[in-house]
Structure 1
């Protein structure tokens, strides 16, 4: 899966962690739009906390209701091998594609360091 576009949407709380929500567009027909959540890391970078589907359409679902199926957590599904183990190489590649997209890392830094 190749990241074709990414931009930081807002600060959010996910599973009790303060993180940045990044809207991601990909080359994958099955998951063309995703939301990736990034939090602070001990190594002065950012950890990818979760990746969820972004099937909400603003013309239909104009409020961000993260409790319905438009925002299903796909983290395991996207990065697990057939033996149910995480493919860390693929996960890290996706994470770095998102963080390396122009402006994303700087916008995350502004959001999370200002908190």
Structure 2
């Protein structure tokens, strides 16, 4: 069973003409690792979806600027299997749901497309 130690909305991004809300996640018992969850809005079903989870292996010493154009963002197989559990827990954690919904209802200002997200 996954328990969230900390989660926070980071930013809204566009990737391949889709808008995503990026959320940083730290799990209990794994405080030394950070994960990134990407939510999108599904207008057909009027719901939020969590199509992509990844482990953030960037290092401040190496990546002293926000550089998503490298291999520090890698998918984690076990995390993909726990996607539905993490989806529900993230949306129930603090103000994550309201921040994600607000972010996805607003247009994205920046045009950068992070290279670590696949075409979803």
Structure 1, residues 58-86: CA drift from partner, whole Å, max 9, x if none? 34312222232211122xx1256xxxxxx
Higher relative contact order (CA 8 A, sep 6+): 2
- What root-mean-square deviation, in Å, do the aligned CA atoms of Structure 1 and Structure 2 show? 2.2
Structure-2 residue corresponding to 1:44: 46
Structure 1: runs of 5+ lacking an equivalent = 81-86
What stretches of structure 2 of length at least 5 have no aligned partner?
A: 108-120
Inter-partner Cα distance in structure 2 for 1:16 and 1:49? 15
Shift of 1:108: 0.7
TM superposition score normalised by structure 1: 0.77
Runs of 4+ in structure 1 deviating by more than 3 angstroms, as ranges, are 28-31
- Give the TM-score of the pair, scaled to structure 2: 0.74
Q: 2:65 aligns with which of 63, 66, 72?
A: 63
Q: Which residue of 1 aligns with 2:92?
A: 100
Deviating more after overlay: 58-67 vs 95-104:
58-67
1:54 aligns with 2:46: no
Find the counterpart in structure 1 of residue 20 from structure 2: 19
